[in-house]
Amino acid sequence: MFAAPRKLSLADWGERHLQLQQAGRREPFYGGPLRRHVELEKDFRLEQLQFDNSPAALRLWNFFLTENSRLHQARTAGDKIVGTMKDLGTVPVMAYALPGVRAFYPDGAWWTPCLMECSDKLLQQAAAMGVDASFCPVRAMLPAFENGEHFPKPELIICSTGAVCDDFSAIAQRLEHRGHPVFWWEIPRRRAPAVGETSCELPGKLLAPRSQVEAVRAELQRVADALGQLAGKSLGDSALTDGIRAANHIRQILADLRQAVYSAPAAPLPALEMLIAEMLAIHFCSDRPEAGLVLGELLAEAQRRMQQNQFVLPPDAVRIFWVNPVADLRAMNLLEDVGGRLCGTDFMFSHALDLIPESLPPLEALARTALADPMVGPASDRAKRIIRECQTYDAEAVVISRIPGASHCAREGESIREMVRQELGIPVVEMEIPPVCDAMLPTMTSRLEALVETARNKAKGLKPNSL
């Protein structure tokens, strides 16, 4: 059943799936050959990706690509569906603390056109609704809410407001105006405590004034009340404590997976699968217990490969730290095609990877976690964490990808680049990756090749005439 690690095309995965079936591999209810996602749901982009060949990766992809159908099944079974937007990792922990409630991430619908290329027309439909390409690809959620062809319409949509990006905010307001039930809660911009002001420690080695934590805690109490009302059951401390513990269980697996893969002498798993795995932290891909099992199997695969000294990439691949999620998944394959490997990430939701403090009252702990969101604080805080992790994982270069139209911080990339260069002296490249990057592929390839070349020469300590 286990094979030497390598990357497969979608076509090759068909044969591999057959082999796994013949070898007696039992798949979960959402399992099956990957190609069906192209045939049934027109995810044409899958045909251009390279996938890890492990059964664990197959499970990960099938879990990821069946989210909408699993949500519909859950609705049919009577579960309440809650769309949680922008906070990326706090409200879902609360929602899953209630039995019969599932949280999902509608502004993650931009992933749909990423996978579906242009066949789905969500972005074009968004433009027809007045939200054009000057907005972030999260605009895909607007037509997805309207046409109901993707996720089921949620009973409740919970959106954070305040220190959130303009694009998201505008689109979420448009949704509310079109009659969708939005519950708003406010998150302030995180600031450093003033001299003499009582401060609180947040996950990720951050500090915030006590007053901000209290304000967010009060807001999250309102969220808890709204969720309780929806579920017909109060969301109290006991349920929240259990929910936090369950979320931390998954965060711990993910932390172990990141540690194993990013610190390994060579890459036991490819960058693309790591990106998808990390994304599960935000809302557990709509099934918390199953997300834990999927990640657990992936971790076991990484550990097995490391024990057997088997890697998916050569050991001389350049160690790259990647900042921000990509709008076209091919970029992660491309990184490896040009001789790089992932050795750390900051996909804008690092607070969803940190363990939620279990020694604090649950709402206090969640408030501190929400305030640790990299998007609600200054870019310098984010850069400091990136620098720490680059040091931990011995990064040789950094890629900062940008999503066209995303406006959460137009100058953030430059700030991070300057700080990383100053502190670490390693090359940093910024590049824009559009949702369908075909026209940009030569440029992207050239930049990544140049980055790998530069880092490789630097590591060898070569003089320019010794290439």
Partner 1 sequence: MLCAGIDAGSRSIKAVLLDTDTGKILAAGVSDQGVEQERLATELFDKILFEAGLERAQISGVIATGYGRNAIRFADTTITEITCHARGVHQLAPETRTIIEIGGQDSKVISLENGGRVRDFAMNDRCAAGTGRFLEMVATRLNMNWSTLSELAHQSQKPALISNMCVVFAETEIIGLLAEGKPLADVVAGVQKAIATRVAALAGRSVASPVYFTGGVALQPGMARALEEVLACPVGVVSQPQFTGALGAAVLAGERAARNNL
Closest CA to 409 of 456, 369, 457, 376: 376
DSSP three-state, residue 287: coil
Contact between 443 and partner 1 (CB under 8 A)? yes
Contact between 341 and partner 1 (CB under 8 A)? no
Report how far residue 77's alpha carbon sits from residue 88's, in angstroms, rounded to the nearest whole number: 26
Contact between 196 and partner 1 (CB under 8 A)? no
Report how far residue 71's alpha carbon sits from residue 353's, in angstroms, rounded to the nearest whole number: 23
Closer of 24 and 425 to partner 1 (Cβ): 425
Window contacting partner 1 (CB under 8 A); options: 149-157, 161-169, 232-240, 456-464: 456-464
Q: How far is the CB of 408 from partner 1 (least distance, A)?
A: 18
Q: What are phi and psi of 319, to 5 degrees?
A: -80, 115
Chain centroid to Cα 124, Å, comes to 24
Report how far residue 397's alpha carbon sits from residue 458's, in angstroms, rounded to the nearest whole number: 10
In this structure, is the dihedral angle defined by the CA atoms of residues 251, 252, 256 and 257, taken in order, positive or negative? negative
Neighbour-count burial of 238, counting CB atoms closer than 10 A to its CB (0-12 exposed, 13-18 middle, 19+ buried)? exposed
Contact between 450 and partner 1 (CB under 8 A)? yes
> Segment 314-333, which members bind partner 1 (CB under 8 A)?
none
Report how far residue 25's alpha carbon sits from residue 407's, in angstroms, rounded to the nearest whole number: 45
Q: How far is the CB of 45 from partner 1 (least distance, A)?
A: 20
Contact between 431 and partner 1 (CB under 8 A)? yes
Q: How far is the CB of 454 from partner 1 (least distance, A)?
A: 5
Residues 292 and 368 sit within 8 Å (Cβ to Cβ): no
Q: How far is the CB of 338 from partner 1 (least distance, A)?
A: 10
Residues 6+ apart with CB under 8 A from 232: none
Closer of 374 and 413 to partner 1 (Cβ): 413
Window contacting partner 1 (CB under 8 A); options: 54-62, 89-97, 188-196, 446-454: 446-454
Window contacting partner 1 (CB under 8 A); options: 276-284, 324-332, 345-353, 452-460: 452-460
Q: How far is the CB of 182 from partner 1 (least distance, A)?
A: 34
Token pair, residue 89, equals: 């990792």
In this structure, is the dihedral angle defined by the CA atoms of residues 249, 250, 255 and 258, taken in order, positive or negative? positive
Contact between 365 and partner 1 (CB under 8 A)? no
Window contacting partner 1 (CB under 8 A); options: 61-69, 282-290, 311-319, 454-462: 454-462
Token pair, residue 123, equals: 């972005």
Q: Which of 6, 304, 430, 436 binds partner 1 (CB under 8 A)?
A: 430
Contact between 467 and partner 1 (CB under 8 A)? yes
Q: Which of 418, 436, 438, 459 binds partner 1 (CB under 8 A)?
A: 418
Q: How far is the CB of 333 from partner 1 (least distance, A)?
A: 17
Contact between 432 and partner 1 (CB under 8 A)? yes
Residues 240 and 379 sit within 8 Å (Cβ to Cβ): no
Q: Which of 60, 336, 417, 435 binds partner 1 (CB under 8 A)?
A: 417
Window contacting partner 1 (CB under 8 A); options: 55-63, 127-135, 354-362, 447-455: 447-455
Closest CA to 397 of 448, 346, 434: 448
Closer of 109 and 136 to partner 1 (Cβ): 136
Report how far residue 455's alpha carbon sits from residue 318's, in angstroms, rounded to the nearest whole number: 7
Residues 275 and 349 sit within 8 Å (Cβ to Cβ): no
Residues 6+ apart with CB under 8 A from 73: none
Closer of 125 and 454 to partner 1 (Cβ): 454
Q: How far is the CB of 334 from partner 1 (least distance, A)?
A: 14
Q: Which of 14, 164, 427, 459 binds partner 1 (CB under 8 A)?
A: 427
For partner 1 (CB under 8 A), the number of binding residues is 28
Q: What residue type is assigned to position 303 of the chain?
A: Q
Contact between 337 and partner 1 (CB under 8 A)? no
Closer of 359 and 465 to partner 1 (Cβ): 465
Contact between 429 and partner 1 (CB under 8 A)? yes
Contact between 155 and partner 1 (CB under 8 A)? no
Residues 294 and 60 sit within 8 Å (Cβ to Cβ): yes
CA dihedral 272, 295, 317, 45 (to 10 degrees): -10
Contact between 423 and partner 1 (CB under 8 A)? no
Report how far residue 69's alpha carbon sits from residue 73's, in angstroms, rounded to the nearest whole number: 6
- Contact pattern for partner 1 over residues 395 through 414, marking x by CB under 8 A: -------------------x
Contact between 446 and partner 1 (CB under 8 A)? yes
Report how far residue 132's alpha carbon sits from residue 127's, in angstroms, rounded to the nearest whole number: 4
Closer of 222 and 447 to partner 1 (Cβ): 447
Q: How far is the CB of 185 from partner 1 (least distance, A)?
A: 35
Residues 349 and 108 sit within 8 Å (Cβ to Cβ): no
- The CA distances from residue 99 to 96, 106, 282, 465, in Å, are 7, 21, 19, 65
**Residues contributing to the site for partner 1 (CB under 8 A):** 414, 417-418, 421, 425, 427-432, 440, 442-443, 446-447, 449-450, 453-454, 457-458, 462-467
